[in-house]
Structure 1
């Protein structure tokens, strides 16, 4: 450990953008869990049931919205969406690596029309645009690779999709759906679930669990679309959302899940509800990211990568440095001292830090991280 860093090191040095920090209490929950021998028997089904009911309360889901859980992570859903939710023609808004991969899945699907893809340069935002003939609008709520946050809104015929209850209109299955990838922001930002039809995320970001599991909120209109397409199109069982829906209603997953991941997720949801729900978790993330942005705005060598404050992510903060700063050297020096995973996203190729600001991270640790960076800068800045 370096002497000049010893007194300012964070208590917990995990700042990765996923997998993210896991609270010690979550690990204790794994140790105490009375696991059974089958994921289709108690007590595993009880854990899944707790997750589904806890998420319904945490996100205050409208009546008629259902919580689906399945294996494979959000990347599996990119393919599942093309199989189960896009009728013929989709429109994607692409702001970076992850939203681009989601669009790529539809581009490769031979049973669909070539999707309309709206793109922008990394660090900036682009939104969907209501267009005749589009049956599915898709975008990322938070682009994890760049730290851009998109406003949440519905596209297409909003009236048919916002029923919010079990009495969805007969036309709902034919109305355009709005599908949102909330992988890195779900749990760290308050939003009205009624604005989207299918909102999905992974568990290794705000929820401090492991990867390999996906969670989705489906509106009545989305459920109708899933059920309709399942009757018309061959879908691999692993990607079949109708099967996932049927199993989720039974508080189980179709394939055997990682029980530890379920337990980590369940523990985090309970903690989030105990500290005050989404208002509290969103406030924690906002305090973390705001500390980074304010520091970068005042720094002579740095600047926030996302120029417009309105679109800066509350959960993934990205900061550019001038060319004279050796950010890779700083990253390595901090890693040697137990401060981890603030690397820029690999494909961006920028002189940048990307700092996770998820709810489980304490703002005090964020402040100490920034102090550590400042302490390292004289050693890694060319004159």
Structure 2
């Protein structure tokens, strides 16, 4: 067995969600005053509204956009946009990792639409030359399961007619987002800022709100995904003539909740956002993320047994960094044996308390996934890498 490194990460949490808590986090720092209060109490609604205000400030969301909470983390936020907005126009979906495939499947099988799915192999950004500005578009900005991110937004038309729905859960607070190119941006508490799971946020442009006001989708929308008031339209998408009131439910933008949300989870989110603002805002969060990714990159560049899953440096994620094992001893193994080796590496690291949750997503190629977002300390990334070398050789030696 190889010798173990001498130094362990002080905070060995590298999961891609929920991610590491902010440095210095303590449950005692959270506001306990409203725990046990009714979710519709004015003080509770005001606190939820305050969370949206802070989120807007930290993420630098344009003033004419609205933000709403959705149940079900980022998944719920994306699904709410899909169910409440799609159907007026043809739909294109970028599917270059697991969740792009999920959105495409849901649009086809559950919304009963016929999306054009533009696929890319694992590790590659898809060919976006065929993106049609007359169609709605759904895509993840950063593929959490593939470690592939959008290189830019130049391929999205400024004068588009369709809506652009962007799953940004592993990009928000860690990468600059081109708000003028997007119409719905979704994320969850549990990703870039280390919040608790269960709540998602959808930020919506005036164009997205206009779609909700004007278009009633010809389907029943489950209550927890319902962004608009009124009843389903007829199959042609015409608004129901039942006395008005249909359209975007504007109460959601003022801190009101679709169902009962966790006040504790909200307080934990406010704590994370306040930390982000206190250390310098969005620019500081991006800089911390970039420093972590650079520390990991320094190791990847000098390590023969590992390489990035994302082939093009311009599309490599700085948050959900996905790595493939390229050692010839592993390449000779079949897929199941490779996955088994990754699980051995994971078990060895966790038994030592050196790193937790660094295995690739269950639907991704066998490999490692290291979260490098802003709540991770660069020193811990640097301390992690010798342990990865140790665990790899130890797993092969077993």
TM-score range (shorter-chain normalised) is 0.7 to 0.9
Partner Cα distance (1:276, 1:248) in 2: 29
Q: 1:378 deviation in Å?
A: 3.5
Alignment of 1:87-106 (within 5 A): 87-106=88-107
Per-residue CA distance 1:103-161 (angstroms, 9 max, x = gap):
1111124553x11100011111115445558431111101010110113527665236x
Asked whether the equivalents of residues 16 and 356 of structure 1 are also in contact (C-alpha less than 8 Å), the reply is yes
Asked whether the equivalents of residues 153 and 196 of structure 1 are also in contact (C-alpha less than 8 Å), the reply is no
- Pick closer, same or farther for the CA change 1:376–1:233 going to 2, 3 Å: closer
Partner Cα distance (1:327, 1:284) in 2: 28
Per-residue CA distance 1:220-240 (angstroms, 9 max, x = gap):
000010122238654222211
Match of 2:329, SS state, is coil
Asked whether the equivalents of residues 71 and 77 of structure 2 are also in contact (C-alpha less than 8 Å), the reply is no
1:198 is matched with 184
Q: Which runs of 5+ in 1 are unaligned?
A: 161-174
- Pick closer, same or farther for the CA change 1:374–1:71 going to 2, 3 Å: same
1:48 is matched with 48
Q: 1:89 deviation in Å?
A: 1.3
Structure 1 window deviating more from structure 2 (86-95 vs 245-254): it is 245-254
1:342 is matched with 358
Q: 1:208 deviation in Å?
A: 0.8
Q: 1:247 deviation in Å?
A: 3.1
- Pick closer, same or farther for the CA change 1:76–1:324 going to 2, 3 Å: same
- Pick closer, same or farther for the CA change 1:33–1:306 going to 2, 3 Å: farther
Alignment of 1:102-251 (within 5 A): 102-109=103-110, 112=113, 114-129=114-129, 134-153=134-153, 158-159=158-159, 175-230=161-216, 234-242=220-228, 245-251=249-255
- Pick closer, same or farther for the CA change 1:33–1:354 going to 2, 3 Å: farther
Question: RMSD value over aligned CA atoms?
Answer: 2.4
Structure 1 window deviating more from structure 2 (337-346 vs 226-235): it is 226-235
- Pick closer, same or farther for the CA change 1:82–1:278 going to 2, 3 Å: same
Asked whether the equivalents of residues 65 and 219 of structure 1 are also in contact (C-alpha less than 8 Å), the reply is yes
Q: 1:216 deviation in Å?
A: 1.2
1:20 is matched with 19
Match of 1:137, SS state, is strand
2:387 is matched with 372
1:320 aligns with 2:306: no
Aligned length: 365
1:255 aligns with 2:259: yes
2:376 is matched with 361
- Pick closer, same or farther for the CA change 1:26–1:241 going to 2, 3 Å: farther
2:234 is matched with none
2:336 is matched with none
2:238 is matched with none
Structure 1 window deviating more from structure 2 (138-147 vs 247-256): it is 247-256
- Pick closer, same or farther for the CA change 1:356–1:131 going to 2, 3 Å: closer
Partner Cα distance (2:63, 2:124) in 1: 35
TM-score by length of 1: 0.88
| Structure 1 moving runs of 4+ over 6 Å | none
- Pick closer, same or farther for the CA change 1:306–1:33 going to 2, 3 Å: farther
Partner Cα distance (1:3, 1:128) in 2: 47
Q: 1:345 deviation in Å?
A: 1.2
Alignment of 1:37-76 (within 5 A): 37-76=37-76
- Pick closer, same or farther for the CA change 1:220–1:372 going to 2, 3 Å: same
Partner Cα distance (1:314, 1:110) in 2: 33
Per-residue CA distance 1:318-353 (angstroms, 9 max, x = gap):
122225364332211110122200001112242x11
1:4 is matched with 4
Asked whether the equivalents of residues 164 and 183 of structure 2 are also in contact (C-alpha less than 8 Å), the reply is yes
Partner Cα distance (2:393, 2:224) in 1: 52
Partner Cα distance (2:157, 2:393) in 1: 56
Q: 1:293 deviation in Å?
A: 2.0
Match of 2:370, SS state, is strand
Asked whether the equivalents of residues 344 and 353 of structure 1 are also in contact (C-alpha less than 8 Å), the reply is yes
Partner Cα distance (2:12, 2:131) in 1: 46
